[in-house]
Amino acid sequence: MSWILNEIWLVVALIPIALLIYSFKILREYERGVIFLLGRFWKVKGPGLIIVIPIIQQIVRVDLRIRVMDVPEQDVISRDNVSVKVNAVVYFRVLDAQKAIIQVENFLDATSQLAQTTLRSVLGQHELDEMLAEREKLNADIQRILDERTDTWGIKVSNVELKHVDIDESMIRAIARQAEAERARRAKIIDAQGELQAADSFLKAAEILANKPQAMQLRYLTTLQMIAADQNSTIVFPFPIDLMRGFMKPDDGSA
């Protein structure tokens, strides 16, 4: 009977020691402990060695490192009624451990759901061309909205990146036809601009030749030289008498 009593006293003696050991907690540099005293918030502790009184106090550990969250693929209808599938990645971290635990039940699930709804809402306000060409602007818009809405949870959203914008095969062919038509349009515009510039140059040249007989004579001689260089046969070409007058001195009446 005595040995049973001895074991009981041994257990009774070990209970305070076990409780004392259990009350010591070690928090890493990136961790904080939200302490509740009889169910009420008391304070945030850490990092390092802290003491939590068993039964009376409870601790909830919070990781302050940047978290990377994949936003599942979302079906989005763009403003020009094109159906696309979009997924993204969100970078965020906990700034205020107290708010992250008290203000929301599960800040990870809450941030994930908010990121999904925000992604659909923001992209639905833009056309497909904007989704493909202006990703940096869309990333910044989504990040700003998420950061504003999660501020009350003590969370800082530092970055959002759209990963993939997937469209169906028929829409890819339509985009290819649109790009081809756009290239053809630009080619026609360039041709028209070239014709306009050429016509303007011809008009200026005609004005100069009309107002300067000497320029017309030089142009005539240049044309004869070009023809003579290109042909191996003899060419009989009439020489207008009017062109000679430009080279003759005017008669002053002294003869």
Q: Tell me: the pLDDT tens digits for 69-105?
A: 999 999 888 888 888 899 999 999 999 999 999 999 9
pLDDT at 129: 82
pLDDT tens track for 226-254: 666 665 556 555 655 555 555 555 555 44
Q: And the tokens for 56?
A: 């009376």
Tokens 């006293």 sit on residue = 9
Sign of CA dihedral 225, 226, 232, 233: negative
pLDDT at 141: 93
Query: What residues contact residue 29 under an 8 Å CB cut-off, 6+ apart?
Result: 47
pLDDT at 243: 53
Task: Spell out, as residue ranges, where the chain has pLDDT lower than 70.
Answer: 1-7, 9-13, 169-176, 179, 209-210, 212-255
Q: Torsion angle of alpha carbons 206, 210, 216, 219, nearest 10°?
A: 0
pLDDT at 175: 67
Beta strands in the chain (DSSP E): 24-27, 31-37, 40-45, 48-51, 57-63, 67-77, 83-94, 155-166
Write the secondary structure of 16-43 as one string of H (helix), E (strand) and C (coil): HHHHHHHCEEEECCCEEEEEEECCEEEE
CA distance 162 to 36: 39
CA distance 109 to 104: 10
- β-pairing, 83-94 with 155-166? antiparallel
DSSP code, position 47: S
pTM of the model as a whole: 0.65
